[in-house]
């Protein structure tokens, strides 16, 4: 049984690895255009849509709340996360400072790549390019992991033992993995100075928090080591 579970975990990791490598190979041109376009200030952007700024900040900051079910929330640790989301959405929908600054030295804003499809939400028109679709998939998967983890933790919140059911049977830190995917997704979708600087710091910080949490759980529950031996860190 243990050998079968190990083989299944290896298969899942292999599928994920192949998906990432193949998608990057197939669409490397679109990703390059996305980064070049935004970092040189050429991107055609949405601006002064402050209702979208507020909506997105509230939605993504709410995702931080469930973390307190797994480990007592230390909001000082989440300050950089809050700063990331606030500055990101102000730039995306309010005042795109990086784009404005860079465009003075390069060219006027244009579409970065061919639009695959478009839609309108709350009075704002969106055009989805390949890189944006890829980013949206990562962000959606990350959000699902966080919500699924929250539901699992909430159901077990009255128990004094660490949670090993639900999604925690497959990943020791599904919610933190969810945040890593969300941050990486926004890094691809909006590759300006904000995400280029913040994304690596946040991903490093989440991995560090995971390790800190594991040390705390090992000190409190000696049998947590058995759980570590059975379940992968992320996937």
- Give the pLDDT score at 66: 60
Whether residue 8 is contained in a domain is answered as no
- Give the pLDDT score at 100: 67
**Domain CATH for 144:** 1.20.120
Full domain range(s) for residue 169: 30-230
Whether residue 176 is contained in a domain is answered as yes
- Give the pLDDT score at 50: 85
Tell the residue number behind the tokens 């061919």, with chain if given.
Answer: 114
- Give the pLDDT score at 69: 53
Q: Which residues contact 214 (CB under 8 A, 6 or more apart)?
A: 172, 224, 228
- In the beta sheet, which residues pair with residue 117? 128
Determine the Cα–Cα distance for residues 8 and 17; give it in Å rounded to an integer.
14
- Give the pLDDT score at 75: 47
- Give the pLDDT score at 141: 93
Whether residue 4 is contained in a domain is answered as no
* Number of domains into which the chain is organized: 1
- Give the pLDDT score at 68: 54
Terminal-residue alpha carbon distance, the chain: 18
Whether residue 168 is contained in a domain is answered as yes
From first to last of its 235 residues, the chain has per-residue pLDDT tens of: 556 666 666 666 677 777 777 887 888 888 888 888 887 777 777 777 888 888 888 888 887 766 555 555 454 566 777 888 888 888 878 777 676 666 655 555 556 777 777 778 777 777 788 888 899 999 999 999 988 888 888 777 666 667 888 888 888 889 889 989 999 999 998 888 888 888 998 898 888 888 888 888 888 888 888 888 888 888 7
Whether residue 57 is contained in a domain is answered as yes
- Give the pLDDT score at 219: 86
* Closest alpha carbon to 127 in 43, 191, 52, 54: 43
Give whole-number Cα distances, 83 to 45, 55, 58, in Å: 21, 15, 12
Give yes or no for a contact between 196 and 34, defined as CB atoms under 8 angstroms apart: no
Whether residue 20 is contained in a domain is answered as no
DSSP the chain: -HHHHHHHHHHHHHHHHHHHHHHHHHTHHHHHHHHHHHHTT-B----S-HHHHHHHHHHHHHTTTTHHHHS---HHHHHHHHHHHHHHHIIIII--HHHHHHHTTS---B-SS--SEEEEETTEEEEE-HHHHHHHHHHHHHHHHHHHHHHHHHHTTTSSSPP-SGGGGT-S-HHHHHHHHHHHHHHHHS-SHHHHHHHHHHHHHHHHHHHHHHHHHHHH-TTHHHHHHHS-S--
Q: How far is CA 86 from the centre of its chain?
A: 15
């Amino acid at each position: 049984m243990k050998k079968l579970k190990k083989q299944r975990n290896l298969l899942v990791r292999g599928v994920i690895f192949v998906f990432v490598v193949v998608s990057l190979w197939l669409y490397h041109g679109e990703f390059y255009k996305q980064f070049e376009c935004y970092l040189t200030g050429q991107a055609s952007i949405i601006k002064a849509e402050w209702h979208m700024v507020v909506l997105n900040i509230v939605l993504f900051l709410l995702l931080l709340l469930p973390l307190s079910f797994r480990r007592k929330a230390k909001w000082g640790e989440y300050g950089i996360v809050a700063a990331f989301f606030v500055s990101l959405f102000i730039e995306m929908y309010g005042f795109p400072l990086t784009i404005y600054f860079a465009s003075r030295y390069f060219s006027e804003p244009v579409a970065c790549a061919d639009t695959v499809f478009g839609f309108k939400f709350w009075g704002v028109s969106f055009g989805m390019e390949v890189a944006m679709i890829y980013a949206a998939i990562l962000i959606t998967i990350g959000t699902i992991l966080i919500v699924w983890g929250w539901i699992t933790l909430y159901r077990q919140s009255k128990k004094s033992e660490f949670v090993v059911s639900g999604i925690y049977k497959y990943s020791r830190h599904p919610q933190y993995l969810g945040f890593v995917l969300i941050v990486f997704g926004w890094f691809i979708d909006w590759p300006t100075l904000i995400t280029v600087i913040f994304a690596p710091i946040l991903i490093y910080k989440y991995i560090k928090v995971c390790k800190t949490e594991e040390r705390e759980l090992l000190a409190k529950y000696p049998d947590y080591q058995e759980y570590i031996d059975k379940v992968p860190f992320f996937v």
